Amino acid sequence: MELWNDMKKKRITLHILIVLFVFLSSLSAIAQEQNTDPVMPGESPKPTKYVALEEEKEHLVFFQGFTLSADVFGPISLMVSDYGTLEGALRLNLKNTYLPIVEAGYGQCDKTDFNTSVSYKVKAPFMRVGIDLNLLKDKFQDNRLYLGVRYGFSSYQYDIAGPAMTDPVWGGSEPFNFKGIDCTSHWGEVIFGAEVKIYKNFHMGWMIRYKKEFSSTTSDYAKPSCIPGYGYTTNSTCWGGTYSLIFDLNWGKKKSHKRGVKVEIRDIPQQDENVDGIEQEDEEKIEKEGETDNGERTGNTEKVSTGEANTDI
């Protein structure tokens, strides 16, 4: 009985192995059929080969020149409000991607508070340094969309004056007028902007600036109400903007050509064996015809020569 059970188990195991073998072989056959291209009746599959092709790619030269720009929003603001600037910028162009920039200008503020009648005056230069990043994917085009940062500072003197005010503690009143108060301010900016090509190397663009004051020199009299190049100091942060006329002094994008090797897989055209056989038969026939023609020509010449000899005799 145990022998019969052992034989039965072996048969079952054998059948399972056979089924698995057939299943795996069918899967491999299906995979080969899917990987190979369909072949029409009477055709043989085309072999492939790896072909190395030399190609030429355009790359931007690292240094693309520089740009000069002038802000037109600041002078307009100076004419219609209490605060404005005159400023320009020099910006380097590195692969039309990284744009280090230096901005310098002259800021002016002359305002009088409507409620307190306190006047504030300042005129001084300022400077900003930073870098912009061109966000557009296509670096060969002339338009730009960029995100950047700035560090700004200004060293200036301001005047502050006001009417007589009653001292709530000691009483009495006296007007005040302080001139030439020294101050140095530092701030940072995050900018977002865009510029568009207008004609050849002339561009126009705008910037939105989010500014945050880092520090200003403290004074015994009063905090500066306005910082040249920064703006009003009512809050520790403020918004600003510029609209610039921009001149690219690179006279077009400088490009370089770099050679590289690209590998492609190509089909090798396979000649038809029947065509080759027919061509070989045609060549053999032509050779035989040529031989027969040569033989006939030689025979005719011999006959002609013998005939001439007979007539002479």
Sequence-distant (≥ 6) Cβ neighbours of residue 15 within 8 angstroms: none
Residue 300 has pLDDT above 60, yes or no: no
CA–CA separation, 218 and 184 (whole Å)? 9
Sign of CA dihedral 110, 239, 237, 104: negative
pLDDT beyond 80 at 279: no
What is the C-alpha separation between 67 and 247, in angstroms, rounded? 5
Distance CA 132, CA 96 (A): 10
- Which one has a higher pLDDT value, 267 or 161? 161
State how far the Cα of 31 lies from the Cα of 25, in Å rounded to an integer. Answer: 10
Query: Quick check: 274 pLDDT over 60?
Result: no
Instruction: For residue 97, give both structure tokens.
Output: 């991607």
Residue 302 confidence (pLDDT) above 90: no
How far, in Å, CA of 134 to CA of 191, rounded?
12
Determine the pLDDT at residue 50: 59
Nearest-angstrom CA–CA distance, 47 and 64: 48
Amino acid at 105: G
- Return the pLDDT at 219: 83
Cα separations (Å) of 192 from 70, 147, 205, 213, 259?
A: 17, 5, 11, 18, 37
- 170-220: pLDDT as tens digits: 666 667 788 999 999 999 999 999 999 999 889 999 999 999 999 999 887
152 Cβ contact list (under 8 Å, min separation 6): 126, 127, 128, 186, 187, 188, 189, 211, 229, 230
Per-residue model confidence (pLDDT) at position 313: 29
Alpha helix stretches (DSSP H) within 242-272: none
Residue 293 — pLDDT band, cuts 50, 70, 90? Answer: low
Domains and CATH numbers, the chain: 59-107+124-153+188-213+229-256 (2.40.160)
| Per-residue model confidence (pLDDT) at position 303 | 46
Query: Token pair of 295, please?
Result: 């033989």
Q: At residue 3, does pLDDT exceed 60?
A: no
Q: According to the model, what pLDDT value does residue 306 have?
A: 45
32 in Cβ contact with 57 (< 8 Å):
no
Compute the distance between CA of residue 173 and CA of residue 170 in angstroms, rounded to an integer.
9
pLDDT by residue (tens digit) across 47-81? 556 555 555 667 788 888 999 999 999 999 999 99
Which one is predicted more confidently, 263 or 59?
A: 59
**14-18, 168-172, 223-227, 265-269: which range is least confident on average?**
265-269
CB 187 within 8 A of CB 150: no
pTM: 0.63
